[in-house]
Chain A
Amino acid sequence: MTELTLAGVAKRYDGTAALEGIDLTVRDGEFFTLVGPSGCGKTTTLRTIAGFESPTAGTVRFDGRAMDGVPPEDRDVGVVFQSYALFPHMSVAENVGYGLRFREPPDGQTVDERVRELLALVDLEGMGERDPDQLSGGQRQRVALARALAPAPDLLLLDEPMSALDAQLRESLRRQVKRIQSELEITTVYVTHDQAEALAISDRVAVMNGGRIEQVGRPQAIYREPATRFVAEFVGDNNVFEGAVRERDGDRTRIDVGGETLAVSAASVPPGADRVTVCVRPGALSRSAGTNRLPVTVETSEFLGETVRVHGRWNGTEMILQLPEIPDDDELTVGFEPDDAHVVATD
């Protein structure tokens, strides 16, 4: 079992920085997710860990061993790609067994035994003789997972493995991947642009943006206490108001937002911050009450089944509300309690 560390890992292509000094520790047996918009450097980070890219600066370590100059074939990592990358000229069993041409199967198993075990692990018993093009997308991705796991790698790297699948399949495969990962207790790095997927599946999450890590933490911490405005807006829906710290009154602090005043919990305001961003989740806004009352002009309503998502505008700022019913008026007032607001320093 393996602990992965990245120390100051940077990557430049033709003078443009793809990664700027990534520091990261993925603990032994942890399910760790890199999430961020496209171009944020998450895939480059994964490819650097796998050895497909060599970092311009910094070091990748597996259990303290520096991986500088070690080619991918000598790193003992299993990689699963979005495109599955199955070998179309080999059967499913040959695909799964390919890595066993170069590494002995674990626990004294024969190659056949190992292939059968892995196919059973991903619920594809008896499919070994098929060709990859006879399988559905979800099945192909499970073959790719079995292939990556067959040589019992130290590290499992998954690069957007679900992105080519439809939403329902994605959820069931996600649960399966998580189950297999906890069964094998294999250190796993998962790359996705889907923040909901990241929250659902991970032990810890790193949110990346512009080649840097914005925040690392458990999913709950990332969701409830985003460290930056970017994280607040990227992870889940959020209403964000930029303003200036005005005065402190007991356990309340007043924030001036474009001429209007919002009251937030004093403890939530970063000490010494002058310009701040107030974040309020749509679910925290209700029509009934609240210390802060905001008159909102409704622009569109989307019926989602359980709830209705309303887009509107308050004080010139875009708002997202989550209401039980479609509002019958274009003007409505919502409120929130100071304790429901999260405040980050504006950078």
Chain B
Amino acid sequence: MPASDRRGLRNALVTLRSRLERRALSLVALATAAVLAVMLYLPVGVVFLEAVLEAGRPTLAHFRAVLTDPFYVGALADILAEPLAVRTHLEGVAGWLGAVSVSATVVRPIPGLELPVPWLALETPGVRLGLFGFTAYQAALSTVASVALGLPAASVLATYEFRGRQTIRSLTILPFVLPGIMVAVGFYAMFGRGGTLNGLLGLIGLGPYPFIEWNPLAIVIVAHAFYNAPLVARVTVAAWESVDRRAVETARSLGASPRRAFRDAVVPQLLPAVLTGALLTFIFTFMTFPIVLALGGLQLATVEVWIYDRVRQLAYGEAATLAVLETLLSLGLTYAYLRYESAQSGLARAAGSTARRPLFPDLRTALSPRRLAIVGYGLVALVVFVGPMASLVVGSVTDGSGLTGRHYAFLLERQLEGASYQTLPWVAIRNSLLFGVATLAVAVPMGVVISVVTARAGRAGAVVDALAMLPLAVSGVVFGVGLLRGLVFGVSLPGGWRFQVTGAVAIVAAHAVAAYPFVTRNVSPLLANLDPAMVESARALGASRYRALRDVELPLVASGIVAGAAFAFAISIGEFSSTVILAGSGDTYTMPVAVERYLGRRSGPAIAMGTVLLFVTAASFVVVDRVGGRFER
């Protein structure tokens, strides 16, 4: 080939490449939009359609049926059935109030132990809560428990200096990505009839007590607090640390006592954070699924669990209607949360954060009431947060009589000799890892592109941001139902074509859609903090938009991308709700699904499988930590 031709070819290639580069960002953005449309909006849309269609005709009959059924909405059913009969309803409320009575009694809170406690009992005639009412009720209780458990942690982390403070502060993000089904099994391993708590009580000659059977709701609420108290602590500590020390000093110099300065200068800045944490907790626990499914079963059914049951019974219409109602409620709550968050975002950033005191400066201080209370709280926290995970590990190598390897032996045996229709451990582990890697490959580019598109797009960016954050407000079960009905069963296209996505692809899509908001949430703040003049400098120097992204922005937000990737991987490993629906009875089950399947028959193998899941999750976080990720936001 003559030199001139070669140069011509090279120039043509260079031109082609630079053209592609110029379009690269738009192409990835288009691909992201396409994935979102097909994998997020289509399934959610299918669920909505299913709820309002009856034999192809629009109808509100499904909604009417649900909203007037006491099973679903409890005492509200009458009101919703005949909203205009105000007088009857008011009479009902008056009659209920008249029947409320307060009495002082003595109760013995610990069964089998004569320990009388004076108690002010409030007797109210029962109100039928219905499925929605009960879901909200347990979410409210869980929120109270999470705030009660989270606030002391926040105050200790923010005001005292001690060894491991930074580590504990970083660890508060961990429960958030722990697989729900694993936590449920952990609680089972701790509070179950053969659990570690009964084991310990047995040492002093007590028990065994059926804690879970006594009060499954209490165990579920503690499990929810396990998840959400760290969240409350985290947002509160962040707010606490961003309180400008000089605000407190100014208040003191103006004559306020330390207590008064705290109340006037610090508390107003903490309240929004506490409310944010509480609101998020309520949203999350309203959509709770694996914990209730594993610990409570159908007698504690929340909306989410009931939808899952309806899907199992093939009652898709009812499932879709419930899903729509639940999604509308959670969207409303999420909207309230976002409005509230944006209203608070104007708060000042820390210039000089508050100084921390040593936790145990000397022995005298260590015995002060306040320090003793902190120690007491620490013990409670240890039981709630470390207990279930430790019980999981302990439970996997013990049975009622002592150390044993038979739970793992069962897994191994099942793997070696199990029939193909049975749930094989290695298949579950392999699927989990494969889906996790595939999820990374899809979710990271999606999340980054959405961050880039929304970072400096002003009002249009806010709209894209809201649309892209929808997965946070749509529960996994609802999404799973949509994927099942929309993509797995297939959608008819004009011209006799059928659009169908099944098996592993559908699961990876579901995981990616659930995971990319975490990438976006980690990358966006870093991207927004970059000096826009850097990108403009690069462009003026001849870089296309894509090259400026590749050469300048991405290297500078790499830590956010790695952290986002860690979340994405952990979300994929732990995802249960949509996976259990999509896997059905096929062989695309993952570790969490395997745990749930084992749990239905024997607890030992489930606990062993849960321990494997714990180690895989922990290993992925360690790997990411080594790579240089940061879990801080």
| Interface set of A (CB-CB < 8 Å, partner B) | 50-52, 71-75, 77-79, 81-83, 85-89, 98-99, 101-103, 144, 147-148, 150-151, 157
Residues of B within 8 A of A74 (CB): 542
Are the C-beta atoms of A79 and B542 separated by less than 8 Å?
no
Point out the residue from A50, A82, A83 that lies within 8 Å of B540, measured CB to CB: A50
Closest beta carbon of chain B to A194's beta carbon, Å:
19
Q: Is B541's CB within 8 Å of the partner chain A?
A: yes
Measured CB to CB, the nearest residue on chain B to A144 is B537
Are the C-beta atoms of B541 and A99 separated by less than 8 Å?
yes
Residues of A within 8 A of B346 (CB): none
Count of chain A to chain B residue pairs whose CB atoms are closer than 8 Å in the complex: 71
Measured CB to CB, the nearest residue on chain A to B22 is A71
Are the C-beta atoms of B556 and A73 separated by less than 8 Å?
no
Are the C-beta atoms of A147 and B556 separated by less than 8 Å?
no
Point out the residue from B536, B539, B541, B544 that lies within 8 Å of A147, measured CB to CB: B541
Residues of A within 8 A of B539 (CB): 51-52, 71-73
Point out the residue from B540, B547, B552, B556 that lies within 8 Å of A79, measured CB to CB: B540
Are the C-beta atoms of A79 and B536 separated by less than 8 Å?
yes
| A87-B534, A88-B556 known; A98-B551 Cβ under 8 A | yes
8 contacts between A and B (CB under 8 A): A73-B539, A78-B540, A78-B541, A83-B533, A87-B556, A101-B542, A103-B542, A151-B542
Cα distance A332–B623 in the bound complex, in angstroms: 80
Cα distance A57–B593 in the bound complex, in angstroms: 61
Residues of B within 8 A of A52 (CB): 536, 539
* Ranked 7 nearest A-B pairs via Cβ: A102-B542, A99-B541, A85-B533, A81-B533, A79-B540, A72-B539, A85-B537
SS class, residues of chain B in contact with chain A: helix
Measured CB to CB, the nearest residue on chain A to B536 is A52
Q: Is B83's CB within 8 Å of the partner chain A?
A: no
Closest beta carbon of chain A to B336's beta carbon, Å:
28
Are the C-beta atoms of B555 and A79 separated by less than 8 Å?
no
Are the C-beta atoms of A89 and B555 separated by less than 8 Å?
yes
Are the C-beta atoms of B556 and A75 separated by less than 8 Å?
no
User: Residue-by-residue, is B253-290 near A (CB-CB < 8 Å gives 1, otherwise 0)?
Assistant: 00000000000000000000000000000000000000
Are the C-beta atoms of A50 and B541 separated by less than 8 Å?
no
Given known contacts A50-B540, A73-B542, what 15 new A-B pairs fall within 8 Å (CB)?
Answer: A51-B539, A52-B539, A72-B536, A73-B543, A73-B544, A74-B542, A77-B540, A78-B540, A79-B537, A82-B533, A87-B537, A89-B556, A99-B542, A101-B542, A148-B540
Closest beta carbon of chain B to A147's beta carbon, Å:
7
Cα distance A144–B537 in the bound complex, in angstroms: 9
Q: Is B417's CB within 8 Å of the partner chain A?
A: no
Residues of A within 8 A of B544 (CB): 71, 73
Closest beta carbon of chain B to A151's beta carbon, Å:
6
| A72-B536, A85-B533 known; A98-B556 Cβ under 8 A | no
Residues of A within 8 A of B536 (CB): 50, 52, 72, 79, 81, 85
Residues of B within 8 A of A72 (CB): 536, 539-540
Cα distance A88–B539 in the bound complex, in angstroms: 16
Most chain A C-beta atoms within 10 Å of own C-beta, residue among B537, B544, B552 = B537
Q: Is B5's CB within 8 Å of the partner chain A?
A: no
Point out the residue from A75, A81, A102 that lies within 8 Å of B537, measured CB to CB: A81
Most chain B C-beta atoms within 10 Å of own C-beta, residue among A85, A148, A157 = A85
